[in-house]
Amino acid sequence: MIVGVLLAIVIGLLLIRAIVNPLNEAINVANAVASGDLTSRIEVNSTNETGRLLQALRTMNDSLVDLVGKVRMRADQISTVSGEIASGNSDLSQRTEEQTSSLEETASSMEELTSTVKQNTDNARQANQLATGASEVAMKGGAVIGQVVQTMSSINDSSKKIVDIISVIDGIAFQTNILALNAAVEAARAGEQGRGFAVVATEVRTLAQRSAAAAKEIKELISDSVAKVENGTRLVDEAGTTMDEIVNAVKRVTDIMSEISAASREQSSGIEQVNQAVTQMDEVTQQNATLVEQAAAAAESMQEQAQALIHAVSIFRLSGGYSTPTAVKRSNRATAVTKLPNRGPARRRTAVKSEPDVRTLPEQPRKVAAGGGDDNWEEF
């Protein structure tokens, strides 16, 4: 009887131990998971209900380890990538601001150049008008010189005709003088009867001599006048030739000024188009700067979200095979735009690291025991 009671007690204790111990182990695992400890290793030694419960807890713990490890790794990579993107965007923003400043200076210089070219165009147009006026005046002067040349030629011809007439008068006076001389000889032969006729012949001879002397003087004056007229005609011819050269030179200057004026207008139009293009580039660059700032803000926000995710999963403790990710800190960049030397295009930084397989990471399991230590735990 007593032996039966003792045997029943022993069997009851064994049954209680077989049921309570797995339940206590399951409770410890659940408490560890609830506190964020995923380093527990659950040993399943039976296939009954408690064994299946422990197997389910083991599967859940392994899944959580895999999930939290991947989340940590992805969050670390996102934080690293977003930090480098934010850094690159900051550098790009600074370069864009520098380019905007350079384009503004270029636009200002182009405006000054446009104003100068417009002024040169106006000056060239005025010079073209003056050259055209000078060409017209020179052409009128050339026409007047031509008329003077014709007038001098007419005067020269008239002077030659007058010389011919004077020569005729001189010849008549010479013949009259000879006739008067013959009449005087005949009057001398006639004696007293021809004395009156001799007086008349003498007077006629005197008049003929005076006419010859006057004709000679007139001829000399006319000859001198003809010589001077010929000299004047030669000078007027030279002046006409010079005036023709002046007219041709002024015409060439007028043509050149017309070409300069046309080229200045084309240059002004081209510079105006360049100025408009620079202004459009300035506007596009400013828009790019705004977009870069927005992208930088988005990258910074993504980095903050990644840090928040890292902080959220940091309560879970994994085995020593999982390295603690390092938060990426971004250096503060100067916001002021400074003049930099010519730099090459910014190199793109590769931020994504190769992803290790979480399942192949080594584990350092430990058995769940009441009041167990935290020797192998690492916090994220």
- Name the region of 191 (left: φ>0; alpha: ψ -120 to 50; beta: rest): left
Q: Measuring CA to CA, which residue among 51, 73, 44 is closest to residue 359? A: 73
The reported pLDDT for the residue numbered 373 is 37
* Residue corresponding to tokens 């408490």: 31
Binning pLDDT at 50, 70 and 90, where does residue 74 land? confident
The domain locations on the chain are 53-335+346-367
The reported pLDDT for the residue numbered 363 is 40
* Long-range Cβ pairs for the range 134-143 (8 Å, 24+): 134/250, 134/253, 134/254, 135/247, 135/250, 135/251, 135/253, 135/254, 138/243, 138/246, 138/247, 138/250, 139/247, 141/243, 141/246, 141/247, 142/240, 142/243, 142/244, 142/246, 142/247
- Note the pTM of the prediction, 2 decimals: 0.45
Q: What is the CATH number of domain 53-335+346-367?
A: 1.10.287.950
The reported pLDDT for the residue numbered 301 is 86
The reported pLDDT for the residue numbered 343 is 35
The reported pLDDT for the residue numbered 72 is 81
Specify whether the CB–CB gap between 57 and 29 falls below 8 A: yes
Average pLDDT score over residue span 207-217: 82
Specify whether the CB–CB gap between 329 and 303 falls below 8 A: no
**Which pLDDT tens digit goes with each residue over 335-350?**
333 333 333 333 333 3
**Which pLDDT tens digit goes with each residue over 347-360?**
333 333 333 343 33
The reported pLDDT for the residue numbered 331 is 40
Average pLDDT score over residue span 268-278: 84
Residues in the chain: 380
Select the more confidently predicted residue: 51 or 371: 51
Average pLDDT score over residue span 322-331: 46
Residue 281 has pLDDT above 70, yes or no: yes
Report percent pLDDT > 70 for the chain: 82
* 4-18, 74-88, 207-221, 247-261: segment of lowest average pLDDT: 4-18
User: What backbone torsions phi and psi does residue 250 show, to the nearest 5 degrees?
Assistant: -65, -35
